[in-house]
């Protein structure tokens, strides 16, 4: 509760969009900020039958830029007032609470000097969606969740730009995993999904 998800959508995500939406609705998210780069994707997102009381806001990114660069140019004033906290997550990333007694709101209360935390990845590759769910393994990164009113920009796929830690504040990493929060990253959802993502990616890898 109190968390909105800032995500990106393109047509390749269509077979998985319902799973993504329903998962976040089930854990309490009531607002999606969906970034698109063309009219067709915007129409697909807006035409979806979303569970009540979830609402969406379509955010248009520049179509002439790779998705990550377009996201960095998105003005946070367009979404920062819509929920107390914002999670940056792609359509193959599922925030997973491992305990029921610690909400995101309470976690930020425990770390009042923190403007954002990084939720660690649990990598969960899937090549055959009909097989038993494979076990995950720790990834090398994660995704940020931040106090919305302190977001100044999206700095990268893995960080918001926020004010620095308050003077005298603790600078140790917030132990999100040990406190019961991980981000399950289904970095491939089928063999076809992997192939399509490689053939149609607009990300610039250097």
Give all strands (DSSP E) within 42-149, no chain letters.
55-60, 85-88, 93-97, 116-123, 137-147
Q: How far is CA 186 from the centre of its chain?
A: 13
Kindly report, residue by residue over 89-140, the tens digit of the pLDDT: 999 999 999 988 899 999 999 988 889 999 999 998 877 777 776 678 888 8
Please give the pLDDT value at position 168: 57
Read off the pTM: 0.88
Under 8 Å between Cβ of 134 and 74: no
Question: Which residues, including other chains, have CB under 8 Å from residue 65's CB and lie 6 or more apart?
Answer: 73
Calpha distance 129→143 (Å, rounded): 24
Q: In which element (H, E) is residue 192 found?
A: helix 191-200
What are 63-84's pLDDT values in tens digits?
999 888 999 999 999 999 999 9
- Of the candidates 60, 59, 115, 84, the one whose C-alpha atom is nearest the C-alpha of residue 1 is 84
Measured N-to-C along each axis, helices 14-26 and 39-47 cross at an angle, to the nearest 10 degrees, of 50
Asked whether the predicted pLDDT for residue 165 surpasses 50, the reply is yes
**pLDDT at residue number 206:** 44
């Amino acid at each position: 509760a109190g968390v909105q998800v800032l995500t990106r959508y393109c047509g390749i995500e269509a077979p998985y969009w319902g799973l993504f939406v329903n998962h976040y609705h089930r854990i309490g998210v009531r607002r999606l900020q969906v970034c698109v780069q063309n009219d067709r994707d915007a129409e697909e997102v807006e035409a979806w039958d979303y569970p009540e009381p979830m609402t969406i806001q379509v955010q248009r990114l520049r179509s002439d830029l790779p998705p990550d660069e377009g996201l960095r140019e998105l003005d946070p004033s367009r979404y920062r007032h819509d929920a107390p906290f914002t999670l940056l997550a792609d359509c193959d990333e599922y925030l997973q609470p491992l305990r029921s007694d610690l909400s995101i709101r309470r976690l930020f209360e425990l770390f009042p000097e923190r403007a954002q935390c990084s939720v660690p990845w649990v990598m969960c590759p899937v090549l055959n969606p009909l097989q038993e769910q494979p076990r995950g393994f720790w990834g090398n990164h994660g995704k940020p969740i931040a106090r919305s009113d302190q977001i100044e920009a999206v700095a990268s796929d893995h960080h918001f730009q926020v004010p620095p830690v308050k003077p005298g504040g603790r600078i140790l990493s917030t132990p999100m995993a040990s406190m019961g929060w991980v981000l399950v990253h289904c970095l491939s959802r089928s063999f076809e999904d992997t192939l399509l993502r490689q053939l149609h990616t607009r990300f610039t890898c250097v």
